[in-house]
Structure 1
């Protein structure tokens, strides 16, 4: 049995978790550019959506839950605002959407729109 030093184990677990969750680069104009705090916040908030909508917003084939990745930001934002206002029928999305500010919805939907 190989025994790894504790930091090495934690690093390996973090890398494995990122790979399994389909981690995407943070939203930025240039993928080589360092991520901003706002982009990292948007990515972190968008991560909450992946439990239902799939890793990085790519729903599994045959899922009844729609994918979010690559859809137009304006379309995603309008749907989230409709859920938040209660004008679009939903099972849980109306409750989830109410937990986000308009700025957070804009950031999350921009992040999903940028995922390719």
Structure 2
């Protein structure tokens, strides 16, 4: 992982911890989730919110299943689903990383359909 990506992830983690009320609370909420998925998902928080509920025109994905989220990200990655920003983001992740992100948002926040 490049130095820029490491710095970005660190900055997003600090932001998410401050928004979410501290690292102790986050650790309790994510005990059953792969920590790598949590770290990867932090990059989504600045646009989509820490719980998948965005406050702007950016789509929210709260309430979507892990399977739906994984499929959507893979569709952005392949170009099957169009979005200038999301296509670029999704292309930067492996299929395993996409699965971890989807699992994190779909299970930690109880986002079942």
- TM-score, normalised relative to structure 1: 0.68
- Superposed CA RMSD in Å reads 2.6
Query: Runs in 1 of length 4+ with deviation above 6 angstroms?
Result: 14-17
TM-superposed CA distance for 1:64, in Å, is 1.8
TM-superposed CA distance for 1:68, in Å, is 2.6
Unpaired runs of at least 5, structure 1: 1-13, 29-34
Unpaired runs of at least 5, structure 2: 1-12
CA gap 1:92/1:55 in 2 versus in 1, 3 angstroms: same
- Aligned residue for 1:94? 87
User: Residues 16 and 42 of structure 2 are in contact (CA less than 8 Å); yes or no, is this contact kept in structure 1?
Assistant: no
- Taking the aligned partners of 1:15 and 1:106, their CA distance within structure 2 comes to 23
CA gap 1:112/1:75 in 2 versus in 1, 3 angstroms: same
TM-superposed CA distance for 1:70, in Å, is 3.5
SS in 1 for 2:51: helix
- Taking the aligned partners of 1:53 and 1:18, their CA distance within structure 2 comes to 15
Q: Which has the larger radius of gyration?
A: 1
TM-superposed CA distance for 1:53, in Å, is 0.4
SS in 1 for 2:77: helix
Greater helix proportion: 2
- TM-score, normalised relative to structure 2: 0.69
